[in-house]
């Protein structure tokens, strides 16, 4: 019916950059709904002149949507491509919300597990370890380790997902499946757990504890006790309780 519609590289870049602000109006009723409409806005303006057609296109993105903010890049890319197809009359408009509904939650699960559950703790612990091992080194190394490692993976993943989503809205699922993200998640979690143990031991060593064995034992006991109490009290109250107990012991023995 109409000539093929393709978005130019500049517009795609604009949409990608806007996707970095996806969660600015995150809310409980629609979650990333207004955000998604915001991200696609320049593209929808390109497809439809001002008027009811543009409004209708925007409106279909104001319904509930939620995903992990990084993995959402794939859904944004895919929806961008589908919007082209809708404008050309190749697929019905309902295909776009159906696509978002299909990918949003499972991709959120992937992102929550990989980025929040594995990569962020692992790189954070790596940064902490650098800060502890080389206290004389400039703090910039700890910062560079954490932010450098994390964002090298994070930003390339976002760009990769967006490009693949746009190239093939359906194919991005297979492409991501081929990466076996849950396997990497498991591996990075194991690394993070090892780093957490290393951080605990390094802190104890830095405190001079292993010189006197009973200090090391005491440190281990406090860590294990805290580990047991944490789920009941939460990090906030456990930390305050530990501070209080420590101060009390310090004052009493002082």
Q: How far is the CB of 250 from another protein (least distance, A)?
A: 3
Q: Which of 111, 94, 97 is nearest to 63 (CA)?
A: 97
Would you count residue 161 as binding another protein (CB under 8 A)? no
Choose which of 128, 161, 165, 166 interacts with another protein (CB under 8 A): 128
Choose which of 33, 87, 96, 165 interacts with another protein (CB under 8 A): 33
Residues in contact with another protein, shown as a per-residue x/- string from 175 to 194 under the rule CB under 8 A: -xx--xxxx-xx--xx-xxx
How many residues bind another protein (CB under 8 A)? The answer is 123
Only one of the segments 8-16, 80-88, 159-167, 211-219 lies at the binding site for another protein (rule: CB under 8 A); that segment is: 211-219
Residues in 68-127 that interact with another protein by CB under 8 A: 68-70, 98-99, 101-113, 116-118, 120-121, 124-125, 127
Residue pair 65/32 in contact (Cβ under 8 Å)? The answer is yes
Q: How far is the CB of 91 from another protein (least distance, A)?
A: 13
Distance, in Å, from the CA atom of 75 to the CA atom of 13, rounded to the nearest integer, reads: 15
Which of left, alpha, beta for 140 (phi over 0: left; psi -120 to 50: alpha)?
A: alpha
Choose which of 72, 76, 157, 195 interacts with another protein (CB under 8 A): 195
Would you count residue 198 as binding another protein (CB under 8 A)? yes
**Residues with Cβ < 8 Å from 150, sequence gap 6 or more?**
119, 120, 123, 124
Distance, in Å, from the CA atom of 113 to the CA atom of 250, rounded to the nearest integer, reads: 41
Is 146 exposed, middle or buried, given 0-12, 13-18 or 19+ CB atoms closer than 10 A? buried
Choose which of 3, 10, 140, 214 interacts with another protein (CB under 8 A): 140
Choose which of 31, 72, 96, 161 interacts with another protein (CB under 8 A): 31
Choose which of 5, 11, 58, 153 interacts with another protein (CB under 8 A): 58
- Concatenated DSSP letters for 237-254? HHHHHHHHHHHHHHHHH-
Only one of the segments 6-14, 83-91, 159-167, 219-227 lies at the binding site for another protein (rule: CB under 8 A); that segment is: 219-227
**Residues with Cβ < 8 Å from 181, sequence gap 6 or more?**
110, 113, 114
Would you count residue 159 as binding another protein (CB under 8 A)? no
Q: How far is the CB of 84 from another protein (least distance, A)?
A: 18
Residue that has been written with the tokens 């593209």 in this structure: 43
Distance, in Å, from the CA atom of 13 to the CA atom of 11, rounded to the nearest integer, reads: 5
């Amino acid at each position: 019916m109409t000539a093929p519609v393709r978005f130019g590289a500049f517009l795609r870049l604009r949409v990608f950059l806007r996707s970095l602000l996806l969660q600015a109006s995150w809310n409980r009723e629609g979650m990333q709904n207004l955000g998604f409409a915001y991200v696609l806005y320049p593209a929808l303006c390109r497809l439809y002149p001002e008027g009811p057609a543009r409004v209708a296109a925007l409106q279909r993105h104001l319904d509930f949507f939620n995903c992990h903010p990084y993995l959402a890049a794939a859904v944004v890319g895919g929806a961008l491509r589908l919007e082209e197809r809708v404008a050309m009359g190749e697929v019905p408009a309902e295909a776009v919300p159906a696509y978002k509904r299909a990918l949003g939650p499972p991709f959120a699960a992937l992102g929550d597990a990989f980025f929040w559950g594995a990569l962020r703790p692992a790189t954070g612990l790596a940064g902490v370890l650098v800060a502890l091992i080389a206290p004389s080194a400039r703090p910039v190394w700890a910062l560079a380790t954490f932010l450098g490692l994390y964002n090298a993976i994070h930003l390339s993943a976002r760009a990769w997902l967006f490009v693949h989503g746009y190239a093939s809205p359906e194919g991005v699922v297979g492409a991501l499946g081929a990466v076996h993200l849950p396997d990497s998640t498991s591996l990075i979690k194991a690394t993070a757990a090892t780093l957490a143990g290393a951080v605990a031991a390094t802190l104890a060593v830095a405190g001079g504890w292993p010189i006197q064995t009973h200090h090391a034992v005491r440190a281990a006991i406090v860590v294990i006790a805290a580990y047991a109490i944490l789920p009941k009290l939460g990090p906030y109250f456990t930390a305050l309780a530990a501070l209080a107990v420590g101060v009390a012991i310090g004052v009493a023995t002082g």
